[in-house]
Homo-oligomer: A and B are copies of this chain.
Amino acid sequence: MAADTLKKLKTAEAEKISHIDYFNIAISVDCVIFGFEKKELKILLIKSDLEEFADKWSLLGDLVRVDEDLDSAPYRVLRQRTGLDDVFLQQVGSFGATNRHPSGRVITTAYYSLINIRNHKLKITDNEVHWHSLKDLKALAFDHKQIIEACLQRLRIQVMDEPVIFNLLPEKFSLRELQDLYQAILGTKLDRRNFRKKIALKNWLDDLDEMEDDVPHRPGKLYKLKTGLKKHLAGLAEKVK
**Which A residues lie at the B interface, using CB under 8 A?**
2, 5-6, 9-10, 13-14, 16, 19, 23-27, 64, 66-71, 91-98, 105, 107, 109, 146, 149-150, 153-154, 157, 236-237, 239-241
Secondary structure call for the A interface: mixed
Which residues of the other chain, B, contact A239 by a CB distance below 8 angstroms?
A: 92-93, 150, 153
Q: How many copies does the complex hold?
A: 2
- Interchain CB contact under 8 A, B2 and A236: no
Q: How far is the CA of A55 from the CA of B2 in the complex (A)?
A: 36
A107's partner among B14, B27, B95, B154 (CB-CB below 8 A) is B27
Q: Which of A27, A67, A95 has the most CB of B within 10 A?
A: A27
- Interchain CB contact under 8 A, A6 and B2: no
- Interchain CB contact under 8 A, B93 and A70: no
A153's partner among B13, B66, B105, B241 (CB-CB below 8 A) is B241
Which residues of the other chain, B, contact A6 by a CB distance below 8 angstroms?
A: 9-10, 13
Q: How far is the CA of A241 from the CA of B149 in the complex (A)?
A: 12
